Amino acid sequence: MTVALWCVLIAIFLPYLCTVVAKVAGGYRLSDNHDPRDFLESLNGLARRAHAAQLNGFEVTPAFVAAVLVAHLVGTAELVTVNVLAVLFITSRLLYIICYLADWAILRSLVWFVGMGLIVSFFIVSV
């Protein structure tokens, strides 16, 4: 399995890391498990930002997965290039989460654009 495909697995689980942060920071208790979505929507501050980062992760992951699969299926891109792009994307997602949690809105948006540019890059290197 390639590094890029391992990065797909990492990307799938990153939103759940944000979920854990949101729940811990929000004072989640197992007794709150009757309606966890309502609990997450009621959060404020750091916990709410972690929840928002989680939602964004769920939104962007399918595009990343598709980009990696396209690059693998087309097969014209150098494997090392695809792997580096995937690692850079995961790095951008980790930075995005850090920026979201720290409430660095402008930097967070810049990092988001970098991540989206990396997704586009998979298609460009596959031409």
Q: Give residue-wise pLDDT tens across range 89-111.
A: 999 999 999 999 999 999 999 99
> What separation in angstroms does the CA of 118 have from each of 2, 58, 68, 109?
18, 17, 11, 14
Give CA–CA dist 74/67, Å, rounded: 11
* Confidence at residue 75, expressed as pLDDT on a 0 to 100 scale: 87
Which tens digit of pLDDT belongs to each residue from 45-74? 999 999 999 999 999 999 999 999 999 999
Say yes or no to pLDDT of 116 above 90. Answer: yes
> What are the structure tokens assigned to 43, written together?
């959060």
Which tens digit of pLDDT belongs to each residue from 20-41? 999 999 998 877 788 888 888 8
3-state helix, strand, coil in the chain (%, to 5): 85, 0, 15
* Confidence at residue 100, expressed as pLDDT on a 0 to 100 scale: 98
Give CA–CA dist 115/40, Å, rounded: 25
Name the pTM for this structure: 0.94
Question: How far, in whole angstroms, is CA 80 from its chain's centroid?
Answer: 21
* Confidence at residue 115, expressed as pLDDT on a 0 to 100 scale: 98
> What separation in angstroms does the CA of 109 have from each of 13, 102, 115, 116?
21, 13, 10, 11
Average pLDDT over residues 65-85: 96
- Give the chain's domains with CATH numbers: 3-125 (1.20.120.550)
Give CA–CA dist 63/81, Å, rounded: 18
The gap between the terminal CA atoms of the chain, to the nearest Å, is: 22
* Confidence at residue 20, expressed as pLDDT on a 0 to 100 scale: 94
